[in-house]
Amino acid sequence: MALDVAIDLGTSRTRIFLPNKGIVVDEPSVITIDLDNDGILAVGQEAYMMLGRTSSKMDAVFPLNGGVISDFGLVEAMISTMLKGVVSSKIGMPRAVACVPSEITEVEKRAVVNAIGGAGIRKVCLIEEPVAAAMGAGINISSPHGSFVVDIGGGTTDMAVISLSGIAVSRSIKQAGNIMDEEIIKYVKRKYNMLIGKRTAEEAKMKIGCVVPGLVSGTYRIKGRNLITGMPAWVDLKANEMVEPLREIANTIVSQIQDILEETPPELIGDIYTDGIVLTGGGSQIAGIDTLIRIATELKVTVAENPADCVVLGCGQAIKFIDNLNKADRGGINPISDHF
C-alpha cells in the first residue's frame, strides 16, 4: 500500500501532512550532528532545544537558509528521520507534494527534489509557496479571479497574484522571520551591550513582537551575556522597543507589495480591490504588520485562519493532483511542476 504525503520544508519549521490525518509533524528544521563521526544525534524539537547549548563535539544547525537547502545531506537525514516517525515501514515508499519559494532557480528546485527523494520518496512534485498558501487559506485558485496572497515565513516572504491556477505576478524576498530574529539580536547588543541567542530572540519576537507602537503591551525578560563584564545578564524588553528592530523589515515587505500591485494587470487589480490581500505564514501574526499594509495600500488586509499551517494544508490539498502531472520519469522522480 502506497501513501502520499505533503511536506512544507521551511527554513524555520518542517511540517508533514497525511491525508485523513492532517498535520502529523510540526517541528523546527534543526538537526544536531556529532562532529567526530558525522552521526545524527537529534532532529526537530529535540535538536532545537540544543541550539546554543552544544559542546565542542556536536553542533545544532538549520540545514536550510533563505528558503533553499544549504546542506543537502543534513536535509535528507532530517526528512528521513521525520518520515520514519509517521510512515510505517510496511507501507510502500510514498509520493510527495512539497513547496518551494516562488523565485528560486531550477538548480535549487532540483536540490529539494533530490533531498526529499533521497529520504525514500519515490515521486516528488513541487508547488510554489504562495499557491499552496492560497489553497490552504481557502482560496479557489482555479477561478478567473485575481487573489493576492502574502506568505511571511521564516526564510522568505513570498507574495503572488494568482488566477486560473497560475501566478500572474510574484516576488520572493529574504526579509522574513529569521532576519527579524537577527535584527533583535543586533538591537539588544547595541542598546544593552548584551549578547543573546537566536532562540531567545525568536521567543521575544513571538511574545511581544510588534511593528506599530502601542498595539502590544508588557515586557519579556531576555537573558544573555554582558559584553562588557562577560557575566550573565538579563533585561526586561518592552513591547514598544520591538518596533525599532522589526519596522524596517516590515516596511521592506510593504514596499514589495506595492511594487507587485503596480505590475498587476488592470482586471486582476479590480478583483484585489474588492477582496483585498490575504496574509499567511507565521510572520503574519506579528502585531501591526497587517495595519502597515492596510495603510500603505488602502486595501482590506486579512490574516488567514491558522496562518502558519496554510502552506502545508495547501500542499495536502494538492496531493489529489499528483496523478494529473507529467508522467515522464527522470531518475525515478517526477519532473518539477510549477503549479497545479
* Count of CB atoms situated within 10 Å of the CB of 88: 8
Q: How far is CA 286 from CA 52, 209, 237, 279, in A?
A: 25, 6, 16, 11
Q: Identical fold at 2-131+311-324 and 139-303?
A: yes
| CATH topology (fold) of 139-303 | Nucleotidyltransferase; domain 5 (3.30.420)
Whole-number Å distance between alpha carbons of 174 and 56: 31
State pLDDT tens for residues 215-266: 999 999 999 999 999 999 999 999 999 999 999 999 999 999 999 999 999 9
Residues 239, 183: Cα–Cα separation, whole Å? 15
Say yes or no to pLDDT of 327 above 60: no
| CA separation, residue 299 to residues 262, 277, 296, 322 (Å) | 14, 7, 8, 35
Q: Residue 304 carries which DSSP code?
A: P
Question: Is residue 185 a contact partner of residue 224, using CB atoms and an 8 Å limit?
Answer: no
Looking at CATH, the fold of the domain delimited by 2-131+311-324 is given as Nucleotidyltransferase; domain 5 (3.30.420)
| Global pTM value | 0.90
**Could you give the CA distance from residue 1 to residue 83 in angstroms, rounded to a whole number?**
16
Question: Would you list the domain boundaries of the chain?
Answer: 2-131+311-324, 139-303
The letter for the amino acid at 245 is P
> How confident is the model over 172-214, as pLDDT tens digits?
999 999 999 999 999 999 999 999 999 999 999 999 999 999 9
Least confident of 50-59, 138-147, 212-221, 270-279: 50-59
